[in-house]
Each structure stands twice: as structure tokens, then as C-alpha cells.
């Protein structure tokens, strides 16, 4: 007979992906049984099916329960591990890392983490950074080049700020929303629900996506771009806006470097020093139309240059310089020319988007202001990403909506102490980041290394050997292109420790594997939920709703314990997590006790401040955090390094157009997108999810399929110049017949549901990344061309037959 039941409802949030949906957990007699949406939470309008399946993660039969040590040689087909104690595991890790750092420098130890957008590593990723920096390594491998570059770091070269990463779309007030290579219906539920609410109140929506996915079906304009040609489309839209005068003259003239003169002799900005003025030598120069002469524009634009309406935006002028007369043109004139070369009729042929649709969309973007935008994976994973997002940032600058209500705004954050240890890494160590020599402006400048650079260092010792890897989650070899090269790189390491809830294809190459609690078994601190001012004002301490499985420990516990063993305890509050949180929270006035007493979270009253660039700071405006203090349509920093200073379009490096030699064998364009049912390479082992999406999928146009003898549901081979991967055909009439869409992340079996696994590489593999290339990567960021390459699709033998 059943005893008395206790049912508890615990306010919490789901940390499984970037949405971080507010939720209520049901705990029945000590067992976590369900997760439901909590509409009182600013991100709690809905939960996706993955969140609802959370208890399956907690109680899964294949969870890692004990620390393990490898007992079979690296590269063995079936790796074997033996159980060890935490003490032995920590001791081994500390001893090996210390030894390797002593012999080869701490930079030879690479740190990695699962992306905080696809895992609960958002709870602890700042502490991983702190550990890495305290240890002395500048090398963090966390998919910056595939996931974050276009949103966080590339925009620094235009805006001096992460737009749209930190300057998020103000969906509650936007008149028009632009989603470019972003499908929140799959990837961030909270943005999807707030977008639907915005559409209900009359906001317009423009979606740029090769697939009619998610909200594209409800958009005023769905622009079906050919994968990887988004830069051309952005320039064409911008052309229409410039031609029609659909741009904010005040903002462009005053707050961007549009009026700055560019010399025709060297293509660089004209400097005051060239005028022989002697004054502010580094300042730029514009052309005063009224006075008919050059005028020095310093950072804050005092004097004659203060009246930006006098400054020319077009035309060619001759300026008398110390080198004689030089013909110059304002930046804006060059921008307009570059865009004119990509007028809709031309762009249409490149992108596949009809010219009329481009013109109409441009009108909506302008007339339905304020415009708020977001870009993501559809743009990040390309060999031309930096120039593409710069072209979009340029378009956005023209609207003048940055930092204005209803545009992209920085919701005020709860004040805290920074804990990522930025002060702990010496500049000379920072300068050793892998890849910084090849791409000085790329992610390595910010201590993020690419998969390609990690593999080159591990395999070829270029520019020095990466000898060890410390990974918190992350399925590196499955997540980067050329998985076989990735596996080789992992096997070549002298030491590899991996912390995870489950064994994965990457962890199989580890020397030590550490069991991690799932997000629902550990306490975690979240400061701000990003998507709105209300969300960003919330601080929540997530409570465990189930006891840790086996001997599993949270990432935080592992990091803090490891820090002590490595002799870095002083940087980690003596190894006491609670003391660390108190330090972090101190400026907020919120206490750990308060958070424990209020599991639904504490709201700190905060207000969004707009147009901070115009704020007065001691008589001068604050400006933008760029070298010139204004938005840089023309980037001198890019020019200094030999890159195009004004956004341009280049055809993807492996496309049917750029590689006619490949086009006959591989006539189709291959891209990919995330699955609604799984996060990245995870979750195929959960019966509740796998039963809904049992097989890897490739979307293909019905005509393209028919001409190859492929019917809906058939097993097919996706052949690329790198190899073959299996998938089942899904016929999608909305696709361009020349374009197919695969899914990455397939390897895991689901024993509890009777679904097969697939080898991560080789015969029978369904791993799309095993057949995608890491190169040719973006010259500025090193991003891989995972979303625009070539393939052929052929019928395959049924899997498991």
C-alpha cells in the first residue's frame, strides 16, 4: 500500500538551452517528476518538449555515476574505463596539468566547455574562465567562431558593443522585427512567444532564411536567401534604403563615420596631420559644404564639425595636403557605391531573392521603425561571416534605431562583481592564444580559439603543441567539421580530462572522465534572464529538485575543488562556492539567504537607459566604444590588417559557383539547422524525445528527390567532397530545389527506447560534421563553412537492415 504522498512544487527555471524558461518543478515523494511553465516568471510563458523531458535526463540509466580512468589505449575501437575515487581523479588531474604546464607552459593546456546556449554550462562558464585564467592559459575552445562571433565580437568593429548579443531586440516596443538566420521557434522559445505577442499588437516581421521555418510562415516578408549569400542581400537592401533616402540622416551624419573623408591614393581615412594643421593629428577630416573646405572632426565633434548637416556625405573633393592635392570621398559615398554595385537586380541573381521582394522588404524595414533585429547560426557558420554581419550592422546603423526604444537596447543588468578572472591572466600569456598570429582581430584576440586552431596545435604543433584538454561537457569532435581530424587531435593529446553527465564521442578519447550532476541536481545562481528589462532584473538561485546521481558533482564543485588542488584556492575563495556567490552578489544588495528563501527569485528595480552614446560626460557626449568614438561603417582596424574596411560580399568558398570543378559531382548546396527535439549533439538517448524524431533528417525539395529516385522517408547518403553521411529524406516543397538541409549531432543510441546509435565517423555514420569541412574559414574569425557547401544526395541502403 502506498504511504502518504508529499507533492512539492518548486519555482525554478529550465537551463537546458539559451531560453532559460521560467518553470515549476514537481517533486513527488522526493522524485522529480515534471517541469511545467511558470507564467509569473518573465521567461515562463511556455516550455518546450525538451524541458518537459528533463526528468528523463536526471534518471537516465546511462548517466555517469563515478569518476573513471581510461584503461585501454587511445584510439581503441571500444574504449574501456575503470572506476576510481574522486580523490584519485582530482590528484591525477592536478598532477598531470601541473607537470605539463611546468614543461610546456600553461598555454599548452586548452580549456573547453559545452556552449552556454545549449547546456547548463551557463551556470558555471564564467568560473571555467576564471580557472583557465588563474591557471595561465589563454586558450578557451567554446564555439565562439560558430555561435557567438557575429553577435558579440564582430559587432565591436562597427558599434564598439555587442549588437545584437547584448543590445537585444526590444520586442515589447519594436515596430518591425528582423530575424536573419535565426529561428527562435526552435532555438529560444521565449523570443518566439514574445514575437508572437508583438505580431498580435501589430508589429511587422521580416525573416531571412533559406527555409520557411518557424515564424517565417507568419512574416510580412520571408526572404528565401541562398545559403551564404546574406551579405549580398544586406548590401542590396541597404542600396534601396540609400537610394530612397530611407535612412536616419541625423544619426548617420552625427554618430557614424559616414562623413569622414577617404583618400583616393591609399584608400585610408584622411588624417588631420595630412592637412598640416599640426593640431589633433590623429583626428579624421570631413568636408564642410558651406565653407567649401576640409574640417577636422575629432572624437567628440566640437567646433565647426559640430553641425553635421554641413558635412558632405557624397561627391568627390580635392583636399590640399602636405603631400599635395588629394582627391577624397566621404565614407558614405563609398558605402553607397558598394551597395549600388549590389542593386536588387544583381543581388537577386546571386541570392535567389526576387528584386521586388528586396525593395518591398526595405520599405517595411524603414517605414515600420523602430527596427529590432537578431541574427544567429544561419549567419555564424560561414566562411564570410564577418563581412556579412558587418553589412547587416551597416544596414542597421542607417535606421538610427540602435539604443532607441523599440530598437536593440541594453537592458540594465543587476550590478555584480565580475568573476571571470579577467585580471588573472598576464598580458604575455594572453598574447599566446592559438590563432592570434593568423587572425589578429579574430576570436583569439579575446582568448577564444577555433576548432581548427586547436586541432592544428594538437596534431601539428602549430604554433606550439596543445598537450592537454580540460573539458566541461562539449562534444568537440561532433560539433566541429572534419570529425575524423578532431578525433585524431583528441587522441594525440598527452592528457585529457572531461566532465559530463553522459559519455560522448569526444569523452571516449579522455584519460579521466568526471561525473557531473544534471542541472536539476545542483544549486545554481542566475543573474538576469536577458530578453527584456523585466527578465534582466531577476536574480534566481535554482534549487536542486533531485539528489545527485551516484557520486556526481556539479561543475562548480569540480572547478572549485580542482582550483584548490592546483594551488589556486586563493583565487577561488578558499574553494567555498557560497563565499564566491556572496562576493559576486555584493553590489546587487541581494543575498544568498534571500534567494534561498525566495526560490522564484528576487527582482531588482532597474530601468533601461536609451541612447547612452549621446549622454553628456563632462561637456562631451559619451559616444561609442570604437577607436573613433562613432559607429564605424569604415573600419580602420580592418584596413590596418588588410581586410576590406567597408562591408563587401564574397561568394562562399565551397559553393557550386566558386568551385565549378566540384559542381558536376556535387550539384546541390548543403546547409543545416538545429532540431526542435534535441540540443545539438545531445538528447537522442531520451525515449520521450527520440520517439518523436527517431532518425537523422535531410530536407530536400520533392522534385530534387524525385529526379534521384528518392521518396519521403527513404534513407539517403549525403555525399560531400569530404565523405558520406546517412539521413532520411524529408520532402519540403518550400525549399529552393538546389538547396538541401541536413542536421548535425547524430551519434547517440537510445537503448531504453530501442533506437540505434551511429558511429561518429566512417561507414554507417550519420554525423553531418564528419562530411563538412573546417575550411576555407572566414579570414577574420576562422568560422567554418558548415552552412554553405556542396553535396549530392543519393538513395542508400536502409539502416539497420
Ligand X SMILES: Nc1nc2c(c(=O)[nH]1)N[C@H]1C(S)=C(S)[C@@H](COP(=O)(O)OP(=O)(O)OC[C@H]3O[C@@H](n4cnc5c(=O)[nH]c(N)nc54)[C@H](O)[C@@H]3O)O[C@H]1N2
Question: What residues make contact with ligand SF4 under the rule CB under 6 A?
Answer: 14, 16-17, 19-21, 47-48, 50-51, 189
- Helix, strand, coil content of the chain in percent (nearest 5): 35, 20, 45
Contact present, 679 and 748 (Cβ < 8 Å): no
Task: Between 169 and 259, name the residue whose CB sits nearer to ligand SF4.
Answer: 169
Q: Which is nearer to ligand SF4, 275 or 531 (CB)?
A: 531
DSSP 21-78: -EEEEEEETTEEEEEEE-TTSTT-S---HHHHTHHHHHT-TT---S-EEE-S-TT-SS
Judged by CB under 6 A, the stretch of 297-305, 327-335, 371-379, 402-410 that binds ligand X is 371-379
Close Cβ partners of 204 (under 8 Å, ≥ 6 residues apart): 175, 176, 177, 220, 364, 368
**Which of 166, 186, 346, 592 is in the footprint of ligand X by CB under 6 A?**
186
Does position 787 interact with ligand X (CB under 6 A)? The reply is yes
Contacted by 189, from ligand X, ligand SF4, Mo ion, none: CB < 5 to 8 Å by type: ligand SF4
Half-sphere exposure of 27 (CA within 13 A, CB side): 14
From the CB of 147, what's the least distance to Mo ion, in Å? 3
Q: Which residue is nearest to ligand SF4 (CB)?
A: 51
Q: Which residue, 20 or 63, is less far from ligand SF4 as judged by CB?
A: 20
Q: Which of 12, 13, 14, 18 binds ligand X (CB under 6 A)?
A: 18
Which residue lies nearer to ligand X by CB, 100 or 505?
505
> In whole angstroms, what is the distance from residue 774 CA to residue 146 CA?
11
CB 779 within 8 A of CB 772: no
Task: Tell me the closest approach of the beta carbon of residue 117 to ligand SF4, in angstroms.
Answer: 9
Min. distance of Cβ 178 from Mo ion in angstroms?
A: 20
Nearer to ligand SF4 by Cβ, of 36 and 280: the residue is 36
- CA proximity to 344, closest of 217, 220, 243, 227: 243
> With binding defined as CB under 6 A, does residue 183 bind ligand X?
yes
* Closest to Mo ion by CB, 584 or 671: 671
Q: Is 147 in the site for Mo ion (CB under 5 A)?
A: yes
**What DSSP element (H or E) covers 489?**
helix 483-491
Q: What is the CA radius of gyration of the chain?
A: 27
Cα dihedral across residues 244, 247, 250, 252: positive or negative: negative
Q: Which stretch binds ligand X (CB under 6 A): 65-73, 82-90, 726-734, 768-776?
A: 768-776
Residue 14 binding result from Mo ion, ligand X, ligand SF4, none, given CB thresholds of 5 to 8 Å by partner type: ligand SF4
Nearest to 167 by CA among 406, 441, 422, 446: 406
Residue 545 phi, psi (nearest 5): -115, 5
221 binds ligand X per the rule CB under 6 A? no
Residue 542 Cβ, how far from ligand X at the closest point, in Å? Answer: 12
Q: Considering the complex, state which of residue 37 and residue 575 has its C-beta at the smaller distance from ligand SF4.
A: 37
Taking the least distance from each CB to Mo ion, the nearer of 147 and 358 is: 147
> Which of 195, 321, 348, 377 contacts ligand X by CB under 6 A?
377
- Verify binding: residue 766, ligand X, rule CB under 6 A: no
The string of DSSP codes covering 680-745 is TT--TT-HHHHTTS-S-EEEE-HHHHHTTT--TT-EEEEE-SS-EEEEEEEE-TTS-TTEEEE---
Is 195 a binding residue for ligand X by CB under 6 A? The answer is: no
Q: Which does 47 bind (CB under 5 to 8 A by kind): ligand SF4, ligand X, Mo ion, none?
A: ligand SF4
Cell numbers 524524431 label which residue? 693
| Least gap, CB of 475 to ligand SF4 (angstroms) | 17
Candidates 106, 150, 175, 227: give the one binding ligand X (CB under 6 A): 227
Beta strand pairing status for 31-37 and 324-330? unpaired
Least distance CB 286 / ligand X (angstroms):
35
> Which residues are bridge partners to 295 per DSSP?
286
Residue range at the interface with Mo ion (CB under 5 A); choices 144-152, 346-354, 436-444, 702-710:
144-152
> Interface with ligand X includes 120 (CB under 6 A)?
yes
Beta carbon nearer to ligand X, 131 or 474: 474
Residue 7 and residue 170: Cα distance in Å, rounded? 39
Distances from the Cα of 377 to the Cαs of 216, 369, 384, 479, in angstroms? 16, 25, 13, 13
Could you give the 3-state DSSP secondary structure of residue 660?
helix
User: Least Å distance between CB 88 and ligand SF4?
Assistant: 35
Residue 787, binding choice from Mo ion, ligand SF4, ligand X, none, Cβ under 5 to 8 Å by partner class = ligand X
Nearer to ligand SF4, 117 or 158 (CB): 117
In whole angstroms, the minimum distance from the beta carbon of 31 to ligand SF4 comes to: 20
Interacting positions 106-135 with Mo ion (CB under 5 A)? 115, 117
Q: Residues 278, 296: contact at Cβ < 8 Å?
A: no
Min dist CB 308 to ligand SF4, Å, is: 44
- Write out the residues near Mo ion by the rule CB under 5 A: 115, 117, 147
Amino acid at each position: 500500500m502506498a504511504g502518504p504522498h508529499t507533492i512539492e512544487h518548486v519555482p525554478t527555471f529550465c537551463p537546458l538551452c539559451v531560453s532559460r524558461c521560467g518553470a515549476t518543478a514537481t517533486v513527488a515523494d522526493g522524485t522529480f517528476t515534471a517541469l511545467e511553465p511558470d507564467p509569473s516568471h518573465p521567461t515562463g510563458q511556455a516550455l518546450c518538449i525538451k524541458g518537459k523531458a528533463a526528468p528523463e535526463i536526471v534518471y537516465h540509466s546511462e548517466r555517469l555515476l563515478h569518476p573513471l580512468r581510461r584503461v585501454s589505449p587511445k584510439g581503441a575501437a571500444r574504449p574501456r574505463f575503470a572506476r576510481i575515487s574522486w580523490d584519485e581523479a582530482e590528484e591525477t588531474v592536478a598532477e598531470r596539468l601541473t607537470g605539463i604546464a611546468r614543461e610546456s607552459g600553461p598555454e599548452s593546456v586548452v580549456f573547453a566547455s559545452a556552449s552556454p546556449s545549449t547546456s547548463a554550462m551557463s551556470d558555471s562558464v564564467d568560473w571555467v574562465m576564471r580557472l583557465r585564467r588563474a591557471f595561465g592559459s589563454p586558450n578557451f575552445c567554446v564555439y565562439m567562431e560558430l555561435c557567438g562571433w557575429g553577435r558579440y565580437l564582430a559587432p565591436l568593429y562597427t558599434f564598439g558593443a555587442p549588437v545584437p548579443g547584448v543590445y537585444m531586440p526590444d520586442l515589447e516596443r519594436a515596430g518591425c522585427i528582423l530575424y536573419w538566420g535565426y529561428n527562435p521557434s526552435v532555438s529560444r522559445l521565449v523570443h518566439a512567444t514574445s514575437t508572437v505577442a508583438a505580431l498580435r499588437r501589430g508589429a511587422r516581421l521580416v525573416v531571412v532564411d533559406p527555409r520557411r521555418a518557424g515564424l517565417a510562415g507568419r512574416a510580412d516578408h520571408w526572404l528565401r536567401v541562398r545559403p551564404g549569400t546574406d551579405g549580398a542581400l544586406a548590401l542590396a537592401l541597404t542600396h534601396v534604403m540609400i537610394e530612397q533616402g530611407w535612412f536616419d540622416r541625423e544619426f548617420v551624419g552625427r554618430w557614424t563615420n559616414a562623413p569622414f573623408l577617404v583618400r583616393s591614393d591609399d584608400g585610408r581615412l584622411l588624417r588631420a596631420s595630412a592637412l598640416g594643421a599640426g593640431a589633433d593629428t590623429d583626428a579624421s577630416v570631413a568636408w564642410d559644404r558651406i565653407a567649401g573646405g576640409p574640417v577636422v572632426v575629432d572624437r567628440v565633434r566640437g567646433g565647426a564639425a559640430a553641425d553635421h548637416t554641413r558635412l558632405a556625405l557624397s561627391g568627390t573633393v580635392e583636399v590640399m595636403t602636405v603631400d599635395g592635392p588629394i582627391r577624397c570621398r566621404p565614407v558614405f559615398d563609398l558605402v553607397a557605391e558598394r551597395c549600388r554595385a549590389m542593386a536588387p537586380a544583381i543581388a537577386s541573381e546571386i541570392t535567389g531573392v526576387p528584386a521586388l521582394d528586396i525593395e518591398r522588404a526595405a520599405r517595411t524595414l524603414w517605414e515600420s521603425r523602430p527596427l529590432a533585429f537578431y541574427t544567429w547560426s544561419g549567419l555564424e557558420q560561414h566562411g564570410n561571416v564577418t563581412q556579412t554581419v558587418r553589412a547587416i550592422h551597416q544596414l542597421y546603423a542607417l535606421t538610427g534605431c540602435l539604443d532607441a526604444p523599440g530598437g536593440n537596447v541594453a537592458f540594465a543588468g543587476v550590478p555584480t562583481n565580475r568573476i571571470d578572472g579577467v585580471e588573472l591572466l598576464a598580458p604575455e600569456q594572453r598574447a599566446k592564444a592559438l590563432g592570434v598570429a593568423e587572425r589578429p582581430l579574430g576570436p583569439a584576440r579575446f582568448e577564444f580559439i577555433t576548432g581548427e586552431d586547436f586541432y592544428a596545435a594538437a596534431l601539428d604543433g602549430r604554433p606550439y603543441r596543445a598537450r592537454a584538454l580540460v573539458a566541461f561537457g562539449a562534444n568537440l569532435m561532433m560539433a566541429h567539421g572534419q570529425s575524423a581530424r578532431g578525433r585524431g587531435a583528441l587522441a594525440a593529446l598527452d592528457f585529457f580530462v572531461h566532465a559530463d553527465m553522459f559519455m560522448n564521442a569526444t569523452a571516449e578519447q579522455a584519460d579521466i572522465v568526471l561525473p557531473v550532476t544534471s542541472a536539476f541536481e545542483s544549486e545554481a545562481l542566475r543573474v538576469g534572464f536577458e530578453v527584456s528589462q523585466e527578465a534582466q532584473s531577476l536574480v534566481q538561485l535554482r534549487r536542486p529538485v533531485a539528489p545527485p546521481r551516484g557520486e556526481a558533482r556539479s561543475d562548480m564543485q569540480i572547478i572549485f575543488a580542482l582550483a584548490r588542488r592546483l594551488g589556486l584556492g586563493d583565487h577561488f575563495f578558499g574553494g567555498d562556492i557560497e563565499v564566491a556567490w556572496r562576493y559576486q552578489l555584493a553590489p546587487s544588495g541581494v543575498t544568498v539567504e534571500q534567494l534561498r528563501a525566495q526560490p522564484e527569485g528576487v527582482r531588482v528595480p532597474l530601468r533601461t537607459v536609451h541612447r547612452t552614446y549621446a549622454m553628456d560626460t563632462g561637456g562631451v557626449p559619451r559616444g561609442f566604444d570604437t577607436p573613433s568614438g562613432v559607429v564605424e561603417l569604415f573600419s580602420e582596424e580592418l584596413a590596418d590588417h588588410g581586410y576590406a574596411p567597408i562591408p563587401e560580399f564574397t561568394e562562399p568558398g565551397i559553393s557550386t559557383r566558386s568551385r565549378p570543378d566540384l559542381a558536376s559531382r556535387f550539384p546541390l548546396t548543403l546547409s543545416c539547422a538545429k532540431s526542435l527535439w534535441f540540443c545539438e549533439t545531445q538528447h537522442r538517448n531520451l525515449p520521450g524525445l527520440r520517439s518523436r524524431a527517431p532518425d537523422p533528417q535531410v530536407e530536400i525539395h520533392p522534385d530534387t528527390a524525385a529526379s534521384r529516385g528518392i521518396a519521403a522517408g527513404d534513407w539517403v547518403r549525403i555525399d560531400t567532397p569530404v565523405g558520406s553521411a546517412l539521413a532520411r529524406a524529408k520532402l519540403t516543397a518550400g525549399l529552393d530545389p538546389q538547396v538541401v538541409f541536413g542536421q548535425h549531432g547524430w551519434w547517440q543510441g537510445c537503448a531504453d527506447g530501442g533506437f540505434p546509435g551511429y558511429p561518429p565517423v566512417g561507414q554507417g555514420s550519420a554525423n553531418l560534421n564528419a562530411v563538412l569541412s573546417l575550411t576555407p574559414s572566414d579570414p577574420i574569425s576562422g568560422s567554418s563553412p558548415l552552412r554553405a557547401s556542396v553535396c549530392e544526395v543519393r538513395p542508400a541502403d536502409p539502416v539497420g537492415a
